[in-house]
Structure 1
């Protein structure tokens, strides 16, 4: 997926898309993914978990701005209701993952990456879908919308920036893990510090860490190998 908006890129993208459909036997094959009933359930439950979390946050915000005692009582009851729902949904997701050998293995692989916990692993799998559809890590970051973006059409030229044209929920699910990873992941600690030392704004550096986390996630899923922060050193020896 090419997110650079240039006349040439647009033309090449359309041509490549048509070629892919021809080579792969049509759009039916292109859209086919190994979506078991458990994977479909995971997608639905992860989406619902995010929705209920947002509803809870809204009620917490209402609680902070409400002075009426009776209203406060009802808001607290609503928050407790959402907290119970969140707990039930999380348990349902765990049960769903444990019933599918592939999902279970993929979650175990993802949580070997410092900064990625179970909830993030669920989100990555639900929003990313079939990993075999992505040939490179660049395609994955483009799909998430955390790749550089260049707009150049005719005489118009705009500076490279974050694309944000991809999967919003996938991108959002990587933000908090990036905050954690820049403090505890040995690879990303140095990566983040180097960007800051070069004068990059913190927001830019965090986005770069998000991208790196997604690349690492793609790596462990594609190779079916647990994360190893010393991989390059071991390979050199």
Structure 2
């Protein structure tokens, strides 16, 4: 047993070293391109989106910043699809799109729902309206991708709204 524990510790340290090397390589590649570095800086200015999420968005959705808001959400697979036929109406759901983008946005949406003032207010509003938490998080994911698209289109960083007095 002690041998297995020692070997597992060694393997975990080796995996951590490989992940650190990959992160460094990704950062170096982004820094090598001025356009990519500025797009990454815009994305990471949004509370909730970190470096790895920004990288995933840049790689998986290179067209981000050139799309209309609905197109960005649909391309990410975060646009609600309504099921209906005649008088019958089913529940809306998300489908298609790029699953890797949805996966990359899930944890940032949880963080944004807690720490991004605008998205936190939206999350609270959805929960108060009786929406299930997963549906509310999906809406925050959609808002994040639409916000990222808009900021990249304008070429500006995220700024917190100033309170009116």
TM-score by length of structure 2 reads: 0.90
Mapped to 2, the partners of 1:166 and 1:213 lie a distance apart of: 15
Task: Compute the TM-score of the two structures, normalised by the length of structure 1.
Answer: 0.64
What displacement does 1:160 show?
A: 3.5
**How far has the Cα of 1:115 moved from its partner?**
0.7
| 1:77 positional shift | 1.7
Partner of residue 95, structure 2: 164
Could you tell me which runs of 5 or more consecutive residues in structure 1 were left unpaired when the two chains were aligned. 1-67
Determine whether 1:177 maps to 2:108.
yes
User: Contact 1:145–1:162 (CA<8 Å) still a contact in 2?
Assistant: no
Alignment of 1:1-237 (within 5 A): 68-131=1-64, 134=67, 136-152=68-84, 159-230=90-161
Q: 1:167–1:77: structure 2 CA closer, same or farther, 3 Å change rule? A: same
- Give the paired residue count: 164
What SS does structure 1 have at the residue aligned with 2:83?
strand
CA distance in 2, matches of 1:229, 1:128: 25
CA contact (8 A) 1:192 1:206 kept: yes
Determine which structure has more spread, i.e. the larger CA radius of gyration. Answer: 1
Higher helix proportion, which one? 1
Aligned with 2:92: secondary structure? strand
Q: Deviations over 1:106-157 (max 9, x none)?
A: 01111111111111111111111133652x111111111111112356x695
**Which 4+ stretches in 1 moved above 4 angstroms?**
155-158
